[in-house]
Amino acid sequence: MICCCETPADTVAPEPVLAQNWRESLGDDELSLEDAKPTPELSATGQGPAGKGLDVSPYEDVIPSPGSTSRPLALELATGQKLRATCLYHTLESFGFHFAVSSLATASFTSEQADKLYLKSYDTENVQVFISHCWRDKRFPKLVALWIRFNLYPALLCSSIVGAIVFVASLSKQRVEEDEMMTPSVLLAGVGTFFLSLAFWHHVPFRLGCRQSSLFFDKLCVYQYESDLRQQGIDSFAAYIAKCDEILVLWSPEYFTRLWCTLEMAALVKTHADSGKLPLYFMPLGLAKAAFLSWISLALLCLARELQILLDTFYWMADFVVLTPLLILNALIFGLAIDRYAQARRSLTNQLETFDVRESRCAFESDRETVYHTIREWFTDLDGFNNNVRLHVRDHVANSLGWEFHFPKRLTFPPMLFSIFAQLDKIAAGDFEDQTMFKIFAFIADIARLGALIPIFILLSYCFAKMGRRWLAFILFVICAWCLQSFLTFGEQVLHEGTPVWLCLLEVASQWVTYLLTVKASWIADAVLSRCILGG
């Protein structure tokens, strides 16, 4: 069985194009950042140093083609040409090492280095996911976005299994030793397994020789040394997109300002114009980063709640000395992560509504001519493409992401699972032996409460977004976040002590209704919330 991450045995490398060491093994060594040294900045024509004439950005999203003709790019591969694909393991190796360079346009590779990169991809008849991204964006958000896209559900499954095993072991230990002291063993094991699986799950199928999703990643699937093979890969970008099952857009505010990114979007719209559906998976990098940092913050919150119960046994000031500073730190994490995502998400709406390919930037005017010529061939004129992005792409993004203040439901699952782990620790310690019915109600309500916490914070962020003084809006947001977390941590027992059953049922229902309203992208909730908050 051939792993999809390996080059098939019958694949013959084009000997005249690549260096002599084409057939050498890759080995375990990695390219250092010094291996890709930036070349001198070029002028708009690509013939000399910049600074004499047009002011051209030294960065570009894909490999530039200085001196290329303005011929349109084809949506079909050339005769005898095959698709190239790689796997997630190679794309994310060394914690996203390949995303570390700020630009492929200004990176120079030797033939040996280019061979090593190219050997990480293979010929294929089908590519499942085309990774579309801007090279100017930082490495960490891209890494987290790909973790979430491909490893989230395996991480949830693995952590659930480990948490269940530790829970059963804790129950057995409690019954044998009659130890009723609560320890956060299930929470620590479950949360630790979740983050480890999120970061490393793609290693498992690769090491076992199993087939992974086939990905098109430009740095590995396009030859990086000056040659006809390199130019052939550049000219085939539109055809690659047309042959892929899904386009994964790692969006940032930079994305729609780069010319080659707009070409990728044009190829997507053109090849799926008849179907009316775009195979577009839109992942804002700010959303991925905000979700990841919020998960860490909520894991700390769950741990704080368990420590509060444990420390109160020994020290009555533990709440204020240990937990309050932790909650303030969590509020700051929430504030930084969510506020930045909220600002970026608002800019996405504006970018899509006012999109104009003429405003996109590129490093070489010859590239601009090629892209413009291609778009005119596909859409008659540039305005026709602009209208497609403003209408079709915008509608697709709105349907998949929801309104600006919407938080995807799947990203609320980790905090809800953390809540379950924390409650299982209480059960293992025998905490549910008295007032069992009330604590079951509290258990169910707490799952929805933690699931709705991040969406509520995003709503709060938009409530303060219209304030002219950003520093004041940030301070108010942090105060509100701290109050909500304090309410969850310190107020739960006081709020529910001796509560009648009917009131417990009402609270459980209200918590789950709140959760569903904040994550369910129904047109009713969106319309009401957008009118109240955004004035739409």
Q: Which of 44-53, 305-314, 316-325 has the highest mean pLDDT?
A: 305-314
More confident residue, 237 or 114: 114
CA pair distance 453, 459, nearest whole angstrom: 10
**359 Cβ neighbours under 8 A, 6+ residues apart:** 257
Reported as type and span, the H/E element at residue 244 is strand 244-251
In a domain, 494, yes or no: yes
Indicate if 457 and 427 belong to the same structural domain.
no
Tell me the average pLDDT across 525-530: 43
The whole-angstrom distance between residue 316's C-alpha and the CA centroid of its chain comes to 42
The region of weakest confidence among 204-208, 290-294, 341-345 is 341-345
The pLDDT of residue 175 is above 80 = no
User: Which pLDDT score, from 0 to 100, does residue 438 have?
Assistant: 77
Indicate if 153 and 197 belong to the same structural domain.
yes
Indicate if 98 and 240 belong to the same structural domain.
yes
CA pair distance 418, 295, nearest whole angstrom: 9
The pLDDT of residue 420 is above 90 = yes
Q: Which of 388, 412, 431 is the last residue of a domain?
A: 431
In a domain, 14, yes or no: no
Indicate if 359 and 399 belong to the same structural domain.
yes
User: Which pLDDT score, from 0 to 100, does residue 57 have?
Assistant: 34
The pLDDT of residue 163 is above 70 = yes
CA pair distance 461, 465, nearest whole angstrom: 6
In a domain, 418, yes or no: yes
Tell me the average pLDDT across 156-170: 94
In a domain, 221, yes or no: yes
Tell me the average pLDDT across 240-259: 88
Least Cα distance to 336 among 326, 348, 344 occurs for: 344
User: Which pLDDT score, from 0 to 100, does residue 475 have?
Assistant: 78
In a domain, 223, yes or no: yes
Indicate if 345 and 402 belong to the same structural domain.
yes
Q: What backbone phi and psi angles, to 5 degrees, belong to 30?
A: -115, 155
Indicate if 306 and 418 belong to the same structural domain.
yes
User: Which pLDDT score, from 0 to 100, does residue 335 have?
Assistant: 73
In a domain, 3, yes or no: no
More confident residue, 336 or 490: 336
More confident residue, 135 or 37: 135
Q: Which of 382, 406, 431 is the last residue of a domain?
A: 431
Indicate if 456 and 394 belong to the same structural domain.
no
Q: Helix 501-519 and helix 436-463: axis angle, to 10°? A: 30
Which of the 8 DSSP states describes residue 135?
A: T
Which of the 8 DSSP states describes residue 321?
A: I
Q: Which of 390, 405, 431 is the last residue of a domain?
A: 431
- Residue pair 156/417 in contact (Cβ under 8 Å)? The answer is yes
- Residue pair 336/351 in contact (Cβ under 8 Å)? The answer is no
- Residue pair 223/114 in contact (Cβ under 8 Å)? The answer is yes
Domain that holds residue 100: 84-431
Tell me the average pLDDT across 451-458: 82
CA pair distance 167, 160, nearest whole angstrom: 10
Indicate if 104 and 195 belong to the same structural domain.
yes
In a domain, 1, yes or no: no
Convert the pLDDT of each residue in 487-500 to its tens digit.
665 545 544 556 67
Number of folded domains that form the chain: 2
- pLDDT band per the 50, 70, 90 thresholds, residue 393: confident
In a domain, 73, yes or no: no
Indicate if 242 and 354 belong to the same structural domain.
yes
Q: Which of 197-201, 222-226, 323-327 has the highest mean pLDDT?
A: 197-201
- On average, the pLDDT of the chain sits at 75
Indicate if 442 and 426 belong to the same structural domain.
no
User: Which pLDDT score, from 0 to 100, does residue 429 have?
Assistant: 80
Indicate if 421 and 442 belong to the same structural domain.
no
Convert the pLDDT of each residue in 190-220 to its tens digit.
999 999 999 999 999 999 988 888 999 988 9
The pLDDT of residue 367 is above 50 = yes
- pLDDT band per the 50, 70, 90 thresholds, residue 319: low
- What share of the chain in percent tops pLDDT 90? 18
Indicate if 176 and 276 belong to the same structural domain.
yes
User: Which pLDDT score, from 0 to 100, does residue 312 have?
Assistant: 61
Convert the pLDDT of each residue in 14-65 to its tens digit.
433 443 333 333 334 343 333 444 333 333 333 333 333 333 333 344 433 4
